[in-house]
């Protein structure tokens, strides 16, 4: 019984983390039709900044890490993606590839290829006992942070002018512009939100693993991509659900798969992604986009 509960907590925690990754991808894809492969490097660089400032009081560390994500995301938009605004999503994927490679190699040039350990929020890995289940504090933090971000994002999107503009631009970018929504500003806003989510993911990932490596962002961005596919590309609620589902299924497979198949759980998971593209390309929660955008 407590075993089951333990797995459920694991699943929910991993699902929350994956939801953050997927949202970071989806918010940009929705507005700009840009599939940002370099989202992983937003996470990586933020994590390295965390390493540098980890001696400071923790709230300051968190703020600086998030700020790194936002600033770097804005720079990416300004210096890379803005030049290919008219390109199709497959081309933006290649641009993202190039930006990702560039940042990663510069990172290797400056900090070396070897992984580093970071002493940050180590106490959060200690478990607390709730109703007989021992739950690592970090899992609770992850779920809590995700919940707060989801609520915050929902409020932003429904209550503020810029949020309504973001949703409108996701549905029909051209029409939003015809009503006076400034395209550069709205895309930059989407990147800033994505950067904030990447910074958050960096904090949580670093606290969880305690190690950093220049290539740590790549698996994260793949998860984000595939989760948005499962949830429905361009749909923010879809991305959150897709990430959550991907996390839960990952944990379930760890628990339920027979030993022989266990090493192939990623393959199985990504085969499901391809199947999803084939049989339900609109995802679990389809985005409402005007036909001409897709």
Partner 1 sequence: MPLLEVRDLGVRYGSVAAVRGVSFTCDAGEIVTLVGPNGAGKTSILNAVAGALESARLTGDVRFDDVPILGDAPERIVHRGISLVPEGRRIFTTLTVGENLRLGATPHGGSAEDMVSVLERFPILAEFRRRPAGLLSGGQQQQLALARALLARPRVLLLDEPSLGLAPQVVGDLFRAIADLRDEGIGIVLVEQHARRAMKLASRCHVMGHGTFVQGLEGSDVAEVVGAYFGGDALP
Partner 2 sequence: MSMLRNTWIRAWPLVGLVLLISVLSALLATGGGEVRAASMTGLLDVVIVIGLYVFVGNSGVMSFGHIGFVAIGAYTSALITIPAVSKSLLLPDLPGFLGSIEVSMWASFGIAAVVAMLVAAVLSVPLMRLSGIAAAIATLALLVIVGDVLSNYKALTGGQGTLTGVPTDLTVGSAALLVVIALAVAFAFQMSRFGLRLRAARDDEVAARSLGIAVENERRIAFVVSAGISGAGGAGYAHYVGSLAPDQFYLQLTFLILAMLILGGMYSLAGAVLGATLLSTLSTVLDRLEGGEGVGPLQVKLPANTREVAVAVILLAVLFLRPNGVMGGRELSWPRVLGGRRPQDDFGPPPPGEPAGSGLVDGDPISVKAG
Q: What is the 3-state secondary structure (H, E, C) of 142-199?
A: HHHHHHHHHHHHHHHHHHCHHHHHHHHHHHCHHHHHHCCCCHHHHHHHHHHHHHHHHH
Least distance from partner 2 to the Cβ atom of residue 293, Å: 8
Tell me how far apart the alpha carbons of residues 273 and 225 are, in angstroms, rounded to a whole number. 10
Near partner 2 by CB under 8 A: residue from 67, 93, 192, 284: 93
Query: How many other CB atoms are found less than 10 A from the CB of residue 182?
Result: 12
| Residue 58 contacts partner 2 per CB under 8 A | no
Pick one of partner 2, partner 1, none as the site partner of residue 58 (Cβ within 5 to 8 A by kind). Answer: none
Near partner 2 by CB under 8 A: residue from 6, 71, 89, 168: 89
Name the one range near partner 2 by CB under 8 A: 88-96, 116-124, 203-211, 248-256: 88-96
| Residue 52 contacts partner 1 per CB under 8 A | no
Query: How many other CB atoms are found less than 10 A from the CB of residue 70?
Result: 20
Tell me how far apart the alpha carbons of residues 226 and 25 are, in angstroms, rounded to a whole number. 10
Please, what is the angle between helix 39-53 and helix 89-111, to 10°?
30
State which of positions 254-293 bind partner 2 (CB under 8 A).
263-264, 266-267, 270-271, 273-274, 277-278, 281, 290, 292-293
* Phi, psi dihedral angles at 116 (to 5 degrees): -125, 155
Tell me how far apart the alpha carbons of residues 214 and 19 are, in angstroms, rounded to a whole number. 22
| Residue 94 contacts partner 2 per CB under 8 A | yes
| Residue 182 contacts partner 1 per CB under 8 A | yes
| Residue 88 contacts partner 1 per CB under 8 A | no
Tell me how far apart the alpha carbons of residues 104 and 106 are, in angstroms, rounded to a whole number. 5
| Residue 27 contacts partner 2 per CB under 8 A | no
Name the one range near partner 1 by CB under 8 A: 19-27, 159-167, 199-207, 218-226: 159-167
Near partner 1 by CB under 8 A: residue from 132, 180, 260, 263: 180
Instruction: Give Cβ neighbours of residue 74 (< 8 Å, ≥ 6 apart).
Output: 188, 191, 192, 195
Near partner 2 by CB under 8 A: residue from 27, 35, 118, 135: 35
Pick one of partner 1, partner 2, none as the site partner of residue 218 (Cβ within 5 to 8 A by kind). Answer: partner 2
- Coil, helix or strand at residue 218: helix
Are the beta carbons of 7 and 253 closer than 8 angstroms?
A: no
Site map 223..252 versus partner 2, x via CB under 8 A: --xx--x---x-------------------
Element (H, E) at 212: strand 211-212
The residues that touch partner 1, with contacts defined as CB under 8 A, are 86, 161, 164-165, 167-168, 171-172, 174-183, 288, 290
The residues that touch partner 2, with contacts defined as CB under 8 A, are 33, 35, 80, 83-91, 93-95, 97-99, 101-102, 105-106, 108-109, 173-174, 177-178, 183, 218, 222, 225-226, 229, 233, 263-264, 266-267, 270-271, 273-274, 277-278, 281, 290, 292-293
């Amino acid at each position: 019984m407590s075993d089951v509960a333990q797995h459920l907590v694991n699943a929910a925690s991993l699902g929350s983390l994956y939801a953050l990754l997927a949202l970071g991808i989806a918010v940009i894809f929705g507005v700009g039709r840009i599939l940002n492969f370099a989202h992983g490097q937003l996470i990586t660089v933020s994590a390295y900044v965390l390493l540098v400032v980890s001696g400071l009081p923790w709230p300051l560390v968190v703020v600086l890490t998030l700020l790194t994500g936002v600033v770097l995301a804005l720079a990416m938009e300004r210096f890379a993606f803005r030049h290919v605004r008219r390109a199709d999503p497959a081309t933006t994927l290649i641009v993202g590839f190039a930006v990702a490679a560039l940042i990663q190699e510069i990172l290797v040039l400056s900090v070396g290829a070897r992984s580093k350990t970071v002493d940050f929020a180590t106490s959060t890995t200690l478990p607390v006992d709730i109703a007989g289940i021992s739950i690592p504090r970090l899992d609770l933090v992850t779920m809590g942070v995700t919940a707060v971000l989801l609520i915050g994002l929902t409020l932003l999107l429904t209550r503020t002018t810029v949020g309504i503009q973001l949703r409108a631009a996701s549905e029909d970018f051209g029409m939003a512009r015809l009503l006076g929504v400034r395209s550069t500003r709205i895309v930059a806003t989407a990147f800033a939100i994505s950067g904030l989510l990447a910074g958050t993911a960096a904090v949580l990932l670093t606290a969880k693993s305690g190690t950093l490596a220049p290539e740590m962002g790549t698996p994260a961005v793949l998860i984000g991509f595939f989760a948005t596919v499962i949830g429905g590309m361009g749909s923010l609620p879809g991305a959150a659900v897709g990430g959550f589902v991907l996390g839960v299924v990952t944990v379930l497979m760890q628990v339920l798969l027979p030993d022989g198949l266990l090493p192939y759980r990623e393959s199985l998971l990504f085969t499901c992604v391809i199947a999803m593209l084939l049989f339900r390309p609109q995802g679990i929660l389809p985005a409402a986009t005007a036909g001409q955008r897709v």
